[in-house]
C-alpha cells in the first residue's frame, strides 16, 4: 500500500544521513586550501588589529561569517546565518563559564580568539571542500545568496524588525527609559546585564561581587539573554568598560527591542523551514506576512510590555530548534551539534523551556533512530557535553526555585490571546492527524512536539487548579511556548491540509537555458501577495487581546508604536534625580515624590518607579533594594528619621514642593531629634525638573 500523493514531499535534502556523512570518514588532518588558510589567518590576526582601530564590531561579523561558512549542509545564506548565530549563542554561554575566571572577562579580543580555536579546529578536521562547479560571475553568486524563497521571508522579517525597533530608535536616552520605566522586572534584568558587564562573567559564579548590584536571588537567574547582550555591548564599545549609566541604559533598551525583533525573525524563519515545499517561492509570502503581523502586532508587544527579556530570547531559540527537528540538516553530525548548542542556549536563556526541548529532541531522535544508531558515538558525546552544560542554570538555581510550589507563584503577566491561538493549534492538530501527514516523517515530529507541549500546558494548568484553585503566572508562560510551537507546527501542516498543487504549485520549471517571462513572474507573485494581504488583514482585525477594543485600535502593537503607557514625566524626573545624585557626596537617594501607594489612581506613580530605577542607574540595586520597598508606602517624618538612623550610609530624601513632610522634618531638626540626612525639593518649571536642596536648620 502506498501513501497518498500529498504525503510525499518534493525532495529538499532534509533527511539526515543522506549527505557525505555516509562517506568514508577521514582518519587524519588534511591540508587546508588557500581560502581556508586565509580565513584561519583572518580569525587569528584581525581581532587585535580591529581592536586597535576601535572596530571590534567587524570582529563580531568576521566570527559570525566564519561560523556560517562551516555549515556544509545545503542551505541559503540566510539559513546559514540563522543556524550559525544560534550555535554561537550556545557557544557563548558555554564560554562564559571559562570567561568568568580568566583575567580578560568579556573583552572582545579574548572572546574572538577563544571562538576562533574551535572554528579553526573544525576547518582542519574537515579539510578543503570538495571540488565544485566552475566559478560563477558575481551577479549570479549574489542571486544565489538570496534566492526567491528567501525574499518572501526577508521582506516580512524586515518589516517586523522595523515595526519593533522604530518606537525605540526614534527616541533619546530619557525617552527610551520612559518606554520601559513601568516594567519592574526589566529594571532587575538591566541590573543583571550591567553586573555581567562589570564582572566580565556570570553572576552565579561571582555571588559576593554581584551582591551589591543584583537583588538577592537574581544572581542565579538564567543569564543567557543578559550575557548575550553584554557580549554584543563589549563588541560595540570595544571593551568591557562601563559608560555613563543613562547612556548604557539607553543601549540596553535598544538591545531589548532588538531581542523582541530577533524572536519574530526566528519564528518566521522556523515557519518557512517547517513548511518545506509548501512555502516555495513567493507563495511563502502568503504565510510569512500574516505570521509577522500576528507576532509583532498581537503577541510580541505583550512580552515586551512585561519586560520578559529572557522569555523572548529563549522562545526565539525554541522556534529554531523545533524547525530543525522537523526538517533536519542533511549532515547528521552538523544536525547533532546544532541541536546540542541550541539546548545549551535555551537552558541558559530560560530553563523553564527544557521540558518542551526534551520532548522535541526525543521526537526527533525516535523518528530518526536509524541515523542515531549509525552515529551513536557522535550522538552520545554531544549529548553528554550539551547535557552537562544545559544543567548548569537549573543546578545553580535549585536552591531558590527547586520546588514544584514555584509553579503556583503569582506574577504580573499579559495573557496570550486565546481567540487566535486555540483555533490555530486546533487546525494544526487536525491537519497533522490526516493520513498524509502521519505518513510523513517531518510532520510526525511536528505532531508529537505539538502534542507534548499541549500536554505540558494542560499538566501545569491542572496542577495550579488543584493546588491554588486558579491558573497564574507559569501557566501563561507555558501558553507562550504553545504559541511559538503552534505557529511553527501549523506551517508544517500546510501541505497535507491544502495539497501540494495549491501551495507549492505543480513543480514545473523553465526549460534549461530559458528565462521566465515577465508574465510568468507576475502570475506567480500577484496571487501570493493578494492572499498575504487578505490573511494579514484578517489577523490584524483580530489582533487585540481577549479583552478591550477590537482590531488594530485595541492591539498591543498599535499601543507600542504610539508609545502608549510610556511615563515620560517619571523618566525625566528619574534622569534628573540620577544626575543630581552624582553631584553629591555618596548619599543614597530615596525618592518620596508623588503618590506612593500601589494601585493609586493618580496618573504619576512616582517613587514606586523612582527608587527602583535610581538604584539601577546608581548601580547599587542589590544593597539598596530595601529602600525601594520602604518607599512604596506613605511615610511620616518620624519614619524618615528612623530609617536614616538605621542606615550605615547617609541618605538624601527627595520630596515634592509643598510636601507636608517638609515642615515636620524642619520641626524635628529644630528640636535636635533628626539624624544626619539631606533633603531636596523636586518641582517643575517650564517643563523642566528642578531640584533644590533644603536646609532643615
- Give the model's confidence band at 678: pLDDT under 50 very low, under 70 low, under 90 confident, else very high: confident
Specify the higher pLDDT residue, 279 or 460: 460
Mean pLDDT for 624-636 is 85
pLDDT tens sequence across 436-469: 888 889 999 999 999 999 999 999 999 999 998 8
374 pLDDT above the threshold of 50: yes
What's residue 686's pLDDT? 84
Q: Grid coordinates representing 489?
A: 507546527
Does the pLDDT of residue 22 top 90, yes or no? no
Residue 11 confidence (pLDDT): 43
Least confident of 61-65, 328-332, 401-405, 580-584: 401-405
* Statement: residue 674 has pLDDT above 60: yes
165-219 confidence digits (pLDDT tens): 999 999 999 999 999 988 888 999 999 999 999 999 999 999 999 998 998 888 8
Where on the phi/psi map is residue 127: left (φ > 0), alpha (ψ -120 to 50), or beta?
Answer: left
Assess whether pLDDT exceeds 60 at residue 122.
Answer: yes
Grid cell locating 404: 514544584
Question: In whole angstroms, how large is the CA radius of gyration of the chain?
Answer: 28
Beta carbons within 8 Å of 473's beta carbon, 6+ residues apart: 409, 410, 411, 412, 413
Where helices occur in 583-660 by DSSP H, the ranges are 607-617, 621-630, 637-646
Q: Which residue has the higher pLDDT, 337 or 5?
A: 337
**pLDDT > 90: what percent of the chain?**
52
* Least trusted range by pLDDT, from 17-31, 83-97, 346-360, 681-695: 17-31
Of 146-155, 183-192, 532-541, the range with the lowest mean pLDDT is: 146-155
pLDDT tier at 503 (50, 70, 90 boundaries)?
low
* pLDDT recorded at residue 294: 95
CB proximity list for 569: less than 8 A, separation 6 or greater: 604
**Residue 177 near residue 312, CB atoms below 8 Å:** no
Cβ partners under 8 Å of residue 682, min gap 6: 573, 576, 577, 591, 593, 654, 655, 656, 657, 689, 690, 691
pLDDT of residue 516: 61
Q: Which pLDDT belongs to residue 265?
A: 97
Q: Which residues of 8-31 are buried (b: 16+ CB within 10 A; e: fewer)?
A: ebeeeebbbbebebeeeeeeeeee
State yes or no: pLDDT of 423 exceeds 80: yes
- Does the pLDDT of residue 388 top 90, yes or no? yes
pLDDT at 569 over 70: yes
> Can you tell me which residue has the cell 540595586?
621
pLDDT of residue 128: 73
Is the pLDDT at 116 greater than 90? The verdict is yes
Q: Is the pLDDT of residue 405 over 60?
A: yes
pLDDT on residue 27 = 45
- For the chain, the average pLDDT equals 86
Which residue in 223, 222, 320 sits closest to 263, CA to CA? 320
Q: Please tell me whether residue 678 adopts helix, strand or coil conformation.
A: strand
- Whether 504 shows a pLDDT value over 80: the answer reads no
pLDDT at 521: 61
Strands of the sheet containing 677-685, edge to edge, are 588-591, 651-656, 677-685, 688-694
- Residue 553 CA, distance from chain mean position: 27
Closest by CA to 629, choosing from 207, 304, 216, is 216
Q: At residue 683, does pLDDT exceed 80?
A: yes
Report the residue count for the chain: 697
**How far is residue 608 from each of residues 45, 181, 597, 694, measured CA to CA in Å?**
50, 10, 8, 23
More confident residue, 575 or 130: 575
Residue 605 has pLDDT above 80, yes or no: no
| Cα gap 283→281, rounded to integer Å | 5
- Beta carbons of 260 and 229 less than 8 angstroms apart: no
Residue-level pLDDT at 139 = 64
pLDDT at 14: 44
Distance CA 284, CA 176 (A): 35
pLDDT at position 479: 95
By mean pLDDT, which of 9-23, 26-40, 45-59 is the weakest? 9-23
pLDDT of 138 strictly over 80:
no
| Long-range contacts of 606-613, Cβ-Cβ distance < 8 Å, separation of 24 or more | 606/570, 607/631, 607/632, 608/632, 609/181, 609/182, 609/184, 609/567, 609/570, 609/574, 610/570, 610/573, 610/574, 610/577, 610/654, 612/184, 612/187, 613/177, 613/181, 613/187, 613/574, 613/578
Region for residue 544 given its phi and psi (left: phi exceeds 0; alpha: psi -120 to 50; beta: otherwise): beta
For the residues 570-597, what does the mean pLDDT come to?
82
- Which residue has cell 502521519? 438
Contact 657, 594 (CB under 8 A): no
Burial of 53 (0-12, 13-18, 19+ CB in 10 A): exposed
* pLDDT value, residue 23: 46
Helices (H), 403-555: 418-432, 435-438, 441-467, 473-492, 494-498, 500-503, 518-540
Look at residue 580 in the predicted model and tell me its pLDDT.
87
Res. 506: pLDDT tops 90: no
d(CA 268, CA 279): 12
Residue that wins the pLDDT comparison between 11 and 520: 520
Instruction: Quote the pLDDT of residue 1.
Output: 41
* pLDDT of 515: 62
Q: What are phi and psi of 470, to 5 degrees?
A: -155, 155
How many angstroms separate the CA atoms of 587 and 676, rounded?
11
Amino acid at each position: 500500500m502506498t501513501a497518498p500523493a500529498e504525503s510525499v514531499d518534493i525532495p529538499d535534502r532534509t533527511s539526515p544521513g543522506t549527505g557525505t556523512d555516509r562517506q568514508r570518514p577521514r582518519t587524519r588532518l588534511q591540508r587546508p586550501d588557500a581560502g581556508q588558510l586565509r580565513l584561519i589567518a583572518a580569525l587569528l590576526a584581525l581581532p587585535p588589529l580591529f581592536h586597535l582601530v576601535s572596530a571590534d564590531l567587524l570582529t563580531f561579523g568576521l566570527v559570525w561569517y566564519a561560523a556560517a561558512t562551516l555549515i556544509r549542509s545545503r542551505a541559503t545564506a540566510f539559513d546559514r546565518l540563522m543556524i550559525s548565530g544560534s550555535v554561537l549563542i550556545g557557544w557563548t554561554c558555554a564560554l562564559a563559564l571559562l570567561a568568568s575566571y580568566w583575567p580578560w572577562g568579556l573583552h572582545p579580543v579574548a572572546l574572538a580568539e577563544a571562538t576562533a580555536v574551535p572554528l579553526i579546529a573544525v576547518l582542519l578536521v574537515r579539510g578543503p571542500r570538495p571540488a565544485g562547479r566552475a566559478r560563477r560571475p558575481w551577479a549570479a553568486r549574489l542571486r544565489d545568496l538570496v534566492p526567491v524563497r528567501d525574499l518572501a521571508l526577508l521582506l516580512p522579517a524586515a518589516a517586523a524588525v522595523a515595526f519593533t525597533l522604530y518606537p525605540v530608535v526614534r527616541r533619546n536616552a530619557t525617552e527610551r527609559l520612559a518606554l520601559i520605566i513601568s516594567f519592574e522586572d526589566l529594571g532587575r534584568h538591566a541590573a543583571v546585564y550591567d553586573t555581567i558587564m562589570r564582572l566580565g562573567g556570570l553572576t552565579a559564579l561571582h555571588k559576593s561581587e554581584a551582591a551589591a548590584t543584583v537583588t538577592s536571588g537574581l544572581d542565579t537567574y538564567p543569564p543567557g539573554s543578559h550575557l548575550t547582550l553584554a557580549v554584543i555591548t563589549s563588541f560595540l564599545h570595544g571593551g568591557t568598560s562601563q559608560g555613563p549609566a543613562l547612556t548604557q541604559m539607553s543601549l540596553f533598551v535598544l538591545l531589548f527591542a532588538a531581542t523582541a525583533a530577533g524572536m519574530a525573525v526566528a519564528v518566521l524563519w522556523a515557519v518557512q523551514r517547517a513548511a518545506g515545499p509548501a512555502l516555495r517561492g513567493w507563495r511563502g509570502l502568503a504565510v510569512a506576512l500574516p505570521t509577522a503581523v500576528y507576532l509583532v502586532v498581537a503577541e510580541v508587544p505583550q512580552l515586551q510590555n512585561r519586560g520578559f527579556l529572557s522569555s523572548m530570547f529563549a522562545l526565539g531559540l525554541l522556534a529554531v530548534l523545533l524547525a530543525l527537528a522537523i526538517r533536519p540538516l542533511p549532515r547528521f553530525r552538523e544536525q547533532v551539534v546544532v541541536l546540542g548548542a541550541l539546548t545549551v542556549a535555551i537552558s541558559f536563556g530560560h530553563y523553564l523551556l527544557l521540558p518542551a526541548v526534551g520532548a522535541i529532541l526525543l521526537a526527533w531522535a525516535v523518528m530518526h533512530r536509524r541515523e542515531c544508531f549509525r552515529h551513536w558515538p557522535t550522538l552520545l558525546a554531544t549529548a553528554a557535553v550539551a547535557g552537562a552544560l544545559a544543567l548548569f542554570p537549573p543546578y545553580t538555581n535549585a536552591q531558590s526555585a527547586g520546588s514544584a510550589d514555584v509553579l503556583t507563584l503569582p506574577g504580573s503577566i499579559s495573557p496570550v490571546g486565546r481567540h487566535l491561538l486555540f483555533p490555530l493549534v486546533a487546525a494544526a492538530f487536525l491537519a497533522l492527524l490526516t493520513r498524509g501527514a502521519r505518513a510523513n516523517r517531518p510532520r510526525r515530529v511536528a505532531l508529537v512536539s505539538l502534542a507534548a507541549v499541549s500536554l505540558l500546558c494542560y499538566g501545569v494548568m491542572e496542577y495550579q487548579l488543584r493546588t491554588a484553585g486558579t491558573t497564574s503566572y507559569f501557566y501563561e508562560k507555558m501558553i507562550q511556548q504553545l504559541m511559538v510551537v503552534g505557529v511553527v507546527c501549523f506551517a508544517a501542516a500546510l501541505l497535507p491540509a491544502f495539497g501540494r498543487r495549491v501551495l507549492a504549485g505543480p513543480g514545473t520549471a523553465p526549460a534549461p537555458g530559458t528565462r521566465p517571462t515577465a508574465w510568468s513572474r507576475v502570475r506567480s507573485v500577484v496571487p501570493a501577495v493578494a492572499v498575504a494581504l487578505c490573511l494579514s488583514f484578517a489577523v490584524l482585525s483580530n489582533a487585540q487581546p481577549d479583552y478591550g477594543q477590537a482590531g488594530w485600535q485595541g492591539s498591543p502593537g498599535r499601543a507600542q508604536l504610539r508609545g502608549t503607557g510610556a511615563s515620560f514625566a517619571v523618566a525625566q524626573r528619574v534622569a534628573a534625580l540620577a544626575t543630581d545624585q552624582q553631584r553629591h557626596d555618596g548619599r543614597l537617594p530615596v525618592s518620596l515624590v508623588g503618590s506612593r501607594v500601589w494601585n493609586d489612581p493618580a496618573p504619576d506613580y512616582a517613587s514606586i518607579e523612582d527608587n527602583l530605577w535610581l538604584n539601577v542607574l546608581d548601580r547599587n540595586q542589590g544593597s539598596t533594594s530595601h529602600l525601594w520597598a520602604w518607599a512604596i508606602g506613605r511615610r511620616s517624618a518620624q519614619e524618615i528619621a528612623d530609617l536614616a538612623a538605621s542606615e550605615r550610609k547617609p541618605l538624601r530624601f527627595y520630596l515634592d514642593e509643598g510636601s507636608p513632610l517638609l515642615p515636620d522634618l524642619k520641626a524635628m531638626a529644630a528640636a535636635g531629634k533628626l539624624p544626619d540626612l539631606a533633603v531636596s525639593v523636586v518641582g517643575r518649571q517650564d517643563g523642566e525638573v528642578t531640584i533644590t536642596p533644603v536646609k532643615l536648620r
